[in-house]
Amino acid sequence: MTDQPSGPSAYYSAQVESFLADADTTILGNLTNRSGFNIDLSQREAWKTEIDLLKATLGGLSGTLFLEFDVPRLGSRIDAVIVSGPAVFPIEFKCGQATFNVADINQAWDYALDLKNFHAASHCAPIFPILFATEARHSDPAWSAPHADGVRAPYRCGPNGLRPAIDAALALAAGPPIDGLAWGTAPYRPTPTIVEAARTLYAKHSVAEISRNDAEARNLSVTSAGVEEVIERARTDQAKAIIFVTGVPGAGKTLVGLNIATKRQLLGETRAVYLSGNGPLVAVCRKP
């Protein structure tokens, strides 16, 4: 019996054991019904290929499977996510493809970074993204080392490489096991778009009042306070300073800059200038 989908975040979700027992027609029916669109033949065939490959691979694995998992900030969906043990595996399928393109690698990596930074239940989990080319004859020999944020570069594999990749990742992963159903219903907190942020700031709010952000209000406030401290010290010492604020796309870097520039102007410092090459953002900021 198929588990109930985990809210609006995935078209289909089930324990791996249930997925293996479900008829393909049942899984395809759930995917089609949840999509809300007319599904063309190519999409249906892609789903059928993915289901067949996953069923041939996941026998004996404990965990939870999500198909077409929503990524709101990117306006896209991850083909499949497996939550097993302490690890999360976002999988991007390229059906009928035998090579691994740079754009596809970046897509799989973006999904992993998005989960890590904006999906509440993935912040502390080891993330192992997989790029699965269904016609590829070779797979990567091993996982790359994790980056500082705990996310690894995508593992590139063909049909024979998926299960070894998962098993190798589970041997590397550390941490408590994740409750798959709770993971699927965890909140997703993306940062507002730059234009949304500008409108909010210029409506007499501050960055601390914007609750939807990756680092949450606390970290953005700490960053803003750190920048303010450098500004004050430079002014007191009559020195010059350059401040670099880093973070993944959407982490709130622009939000920090907008907030500080606005605050300094409100304090009467007309030399506070915010420069941007983003046309819509500039248009919003220039509105009286």
Domain for residue 189, yes or no? no
User: What is residue 268's predicted lDDT score, i.e. its pLDDT?
Assistant: 63
Answer yes or no: do 166 and 207 share one domain: no
Q: pLDDT digits over 22-79, tens only?
A: 999 999 998 988 887 677 888 899 999 999 999 999 999 999 999 999 887 666 899 9
Decide if pLDDT at 250 tops 70.
no
Domain for residue 97, yes or no? yes
Answer yes or no: do 202 and 112 share one domain: no
Say how far apart CA 258 and CA 202 lie, in whole Å.
9
Answer yes or no: do 54 and 164 share one domain: yes
Answer yes or no: do 245 and 121 share one domain: no
Residue type, 176: P
User: What is residue 28's predicted lDDT score, i.e. its pLDDT?
Assistant: 92
Answer yes or no: do 177 and 206 share one domain: no
Answer yes or no: do 156 and 31 share one domain: yes
Answer yes or no: do 137 and 111 share one domain: yes
In three-state form (DSSP H/G/I as H, E/B as E, the rest C), the secondary structure along the chain is CCCCCCHHHEEEEEEHHHHHHCCHHHHHHHHHHHHCCCCCHHHHHHHHHHHHHHHHHCCCCCCEEEEEEEEHHHCEEEEEEEEECCEEEEEEEECCCCCCCHHHHHHHHHHHHHHHHHEHHHCCCCECCEEEECCCCCCCCCCCCCCCCCECCCEEECCCCHHHHHHHHHHHCCCCCCCHHHHHCCCECCCCCHHHHHHHHCCCCCHHHCCCCCCHHHHHHHHHHHHHHHHHHHHHHCCCCCCCCCCCCCCCHHHHHHHHHHHHHHCCCCCCCCCCCCHHHHHHHHCC
Domain for residue 128, yes or no? yes
- Please check whether residue 82 is in contact with residue 166, taking contact to mean a CB–CB distance below 8 angstroms: yes
Q: From residue 21, how far is each of 17, 60, 142 by CA, in Å?
A: 6, 12, 31
Domain boundary at 128, 162, 184, which? 184
Binned at pLDDT 50, 70 and 90, residue 12 comes out as very high
Domain for residue 1, yes or no? no
Domain boundary at 160, 184, 208, which? 184
Answer yes or no: do 156 and 236 share one domain: no
Q: Does the global pTM surpass 0.95?
A: no
Domain boundary at 121, 155, 184, which? 184
Non-local (6+) Cβ contacts of 70 within 8 A are 8, 9, 10, 77, 188
Say how far apart CA 71 and CA 33 lie, in whole Å.
19
Range of the domain at 135: 7-184
Answer yes or no: do 180 and 205 share one domain: no
Answer yes or no: do 171 and 200 share one domain: no
Higher per-residue confidence, 35 vs 153: 153
Sheet holding 130-133, edge to edge: 10-15, 64-71, 76-84, 87-94, 130-133, 155-157
Answer yes or no: do 13 and 150 share one domain: yes
User: What is residue 256's predicted lDDT score, i.e. its pLDDT?
Assistant: 80
User: What is residue 184's predicted lDDT score, i.e. its pLDDT?
Assistant: 92
Domain for residue 279, yes or no? yes
Domain for residue 2, yes or no? no
Domain for residue 92, yes or no? yes
Q: Other CB atoms closer than 10 Å to residue 134's CB: what's the count?
A: 17
Residue type, 139: S
Pull the structure tokens for residue 255: 């939000």
Answer yes or no: do 14 and 50 share one domain: yes
Higher per-residue confidence, 202 vs 109: 109
Domain for residue 94, yes or no? yes
